[in-house]
Chain A
């Protein structure tokens, strides 16, 4: 069964410093992986997704993630944090297998990112 583990429940960085949010996944198939962001009192918004094309995926707002099959990881990074990046971030894996089965999303517990001035 597919699952995803976000290794940190809370990450705090200073504005202008790099961001690293860690995610490990477990999947029986070649996975589809996503990062979603949730700003306070808002719905979720897709940051980026990996669907077996390039292993380095670029998303919105300067975020990117690298799919590493050998490490079963999909960590999210950004070179320089901005105050507006403060939000909760969810790593997500799809439970779709081969043959087009229903691809429901399995969410990690989330990582809250705080950005200090």
Chain B
């Protein structure tokens, strides 16, 4: 199993551009998550999904959108990139509710908005 994969690894965006961060998992997990990690901070939850077709906001959803059309894929969309969105983005998955379950993380996407 590849686990959780993310593309791209690194991207530079200009202010106002848009992009989609891709996330795929091959573990048949129902739950998927997007986090951002800013320097010196822990991860903050952007959006999560409890299954195909169901998504919900996390702590910091503004400026982002998600969709979950399949169990495997959970893309994160930035519509109008802003410097405040410079961060490292991690996708994660877990088999059931994250309350007691281990979350499995991808390697991250480093995004720089200039």
Chain A contacts to B: CB under 8 angstroms: 9, 32, 34, 36, 41-46, 49, 51, 90, 92, 94, 96, 100-110
Contacts and interface: CB of A to CB of B under 8 A. Distances in A.
- Of B4, B58, B103, most buried by chain A (CB within 10 Å of CB) is B103
Q: Is the interface of A mostly helix, strand, loop or mixed?
A: loop
Contacts, number: 70
Nearest to A50: B100
B102 interface: yes
Interface string B57-89: 010000000000000000000000000000000
Contacts of A108: 42
Residues of B contacting A: mostly: loop
A105 B98 contact: yes
B18 to A, nearest CB: 25
26 contacts: A41-B107, A43-B105, A43-B106, A43-B107, A44-B43, A45-B105, A46-B102, A49-B102, A51-B100, A94-B100, A96-B97, A96-B98, A96-B100, A100-B99, A102-B48, A102-B50, A102-B99, A103-B97, A104-B45, A104-B58, A104-B98, A105-B45, A107-B43, A107-B44, A110-B40, A110-B42
